[in-house]
Each structure stands twice: as C-alpha cells, then as structure tokens.
Amino acid sequence: MKIVRYRDGDAVSVGILEDDKIFPANAASVSEAMTQAGAGALSADKSAAIQLSDVELLAPVDPETKVLCVALNYQGHVNETGQAVPENPIIFFKVYHSMIGDGAEIHHHDMITQLDYEGELAVVIGKEGYDIPLEDAWSHVGGISAFNDTSARNLLWVKAGEKVFLDWYSGKCLERSSPMGPAIVTTDEIETELKAGQLTVETRVNGDVRQNALTEELIFKIPELVSFCSTRVNLMPGDVIATGTPHGVGMASGNYLSSGDVVEIDITGIPVLTNKVA
C-alpha cells in the first residue's frame, strides 16, 4: 500500500494512493495507519475516490512524529566532506513545521546563501519499541518513503571564540524546507529489495543527476539505525528515520540550489518526490 496524508479544503486526512486516485483510509493519523497496516487491518473506502490533482499532498508525518536524521552514513559522502566515519550513528532532528509534501515549494529563506539538497531513503516505524535488539529491528520497520534533507550550509556552523559548533536547528529545521513523500510505501511491497540493500537513491536537479547510490552502501544499515535510535527514545508507529545521503551534494561541487530549481528524489519502489525551490 501507498499511504498518503493530504489536505482537502480545511480537512487533513489519511488515504491510500492508487495511480492518480486517493481512497480515504480507516485511520485518522499516519501513526494509526502504520499500526493498522502492520496488523493487516488497514483498508480504504473504494466508494469515495478523490482525484490526486484535487488535493494537497502533505508530508506523511503527524505533528507529534519524531523525524530522526542520520549524518555521514555513506562512505562517498564522508569522503566528500573530509570527515571520518563515525563510531556510532550521528542523529539529529527535523521539526514538524520544517516538513512539506510532494509538490510544495521549498522555502528559500532570505538568510540562506547555500541551500543544498540531500536525497535520502526514509524508513517509517510500524511497531512501537524501546531498546530494540538488532535481530528484531526489521519487524519494527513498517514502510519507506523519499526524503530531501535540505540544508542551509551557511547556517550550520557557528563560531564561539576559537571553537566552531554545529547548529543543526538553523541549518536543518527552517520553516517549510524539508520535503518527504509523496507516500509511505509499506514494506510488504518491496521487502526483498529493501532488505538486500538494492534500492537506488537518485537525486536530480532540473533533470541533471546529482546523486545516485544503492542502499547497500549505507555504513550503518537499517536494522542498526532502528536498534540504535531505540536505545535513546521509544520509537512509535509513524516515526521516521532518514538514513543519510550519498555523495554528490551541492556543497562538494559548489552547485547549490537557486530559486526556480526543481529537485526530484527518485527511489526504487517509491513515487518520485518533486519540489520546486521558491
């Protein structure tokens, strides 16, 4: 199934996407939809089809969702940043109001001079868990989605005397800057390729390929990320772990995003996530 969150007039709802139609689901939230899907109980009202073009797709996250992001998780990206491979996953947060859906414009704030793209595979938790053993981690993954971890590079680093600190909030959490979607694809649709690391993550800017990698190249694999994150906080259905970006970011080449650019995140088995920079 492809689970979407959408706005139709003043109402925000959860539905099932099939081709160019959305069917309302028997779930009031993404969290509930993921729980229902895991139990084989998620269904859609096939008598109430809505044209995809008639609604606004939102990021498939609830306001209370934890959006966890992983830094430096592809060797190629580690190399292009001049960093070393971390001993453990490096995790930071996205806040709800930074998230946007497919088709929405990425807000290019006036304070940003270096707006960068980061195409990523996001995994969505389907079952609650705390301190999840590595061998059980896959059973807590309910779906996947496409994610663009946009970064304001010029805001990420702050000097304090002779030292420099990372300001994740300013560099990663700006209002309406982080696309996700268009849908959460439940794991049953792509389980074999997902577990084998055979999903291609490709980022295109105005049609030009900027990033292309297989998920088998992840340094910390999906089960490791799920298990690690769950040692810090209880993971709930609908929570998101964005697994990191491959090499090819704009920072490495100096090819940052400009107003009018169209960014596509194309991942095997997931509808293409497309957003224009405002």
Look at residue 225 and tell me if it is in a domain: yes
Residues 6+ apart with CB under 8 A from 85: 72, 75, 78, 219
The pLDDT mean for the chain works out to 98
Decide: 4 and 145 in contact? Cβ < 8 Å.
no
- 239 within domain boundaries: yes
Does residue 231 sit within a domain?
A: yes
Instruction: With respect to residue 17, please indicate whether it lies within any of the assigned structural domains.
Output: no
Is there a domain that residue 22 lies in?
no
pLDDT grade for 35, boundaries at 50, 70 and 90: very high
pLDDT value of position 15: 99
Peptide bond into 179 cis (omega under 30): no
CATH number of the domain that residue 107 is part of: 3.90.850.10
What pLDDT, in 10s, does the model give residues 202-244? 999 999 999 999 999 999 999 999 999 999 999 999 999 999 9
Mean pLDDT of 133-138: 99
Q: What pLDDT does 207 receive?
A: 99
Burial per residue of 101-139, b for 16 or more beta-carbon CB atoms within 10 angstroms, e otherwise = bbbbebbbeeebebbbbbbbbbbbbbbebeebeeeebbe
Q: Are 235 and 155 in contact (CB under 8 A)?
A: no
Residue 99 falls within a domain, yes or no?
Answer: yes
Q: State the average pLDDT over residues 147-168.
A: 97
What is the helix (H) or strand (E) element at residue 78, kind and residue range? helix 75-81
118 domain-assigned = yes
**How is 34-77 classified by DSSP, letter by letter?**
HHHHHTT---B-TTS-EEGGGSEEE-S--TT--EEEEES-BHHH
Q: What integer is the mean pLDDT of 60-77?
A: 98
Rg (Cα) of the chain, in Å, rounded? 18
For the chain, what is the domain count? 1
Q: Which residues form the domain of 119?
A: 59-276
| pLDDT number for residue 27 | 98
Q: Are 239 and 125 in contact (CB under 8 A)?
A: yes
3-class DSSP assignment, residue 194: helix
pLDDT reported for residue 222: 99
Residues contacting 103, CB < 8 A, separation 6+: 56, 57, 182, 274, 275
> For residue 13, is it within any domain?
no
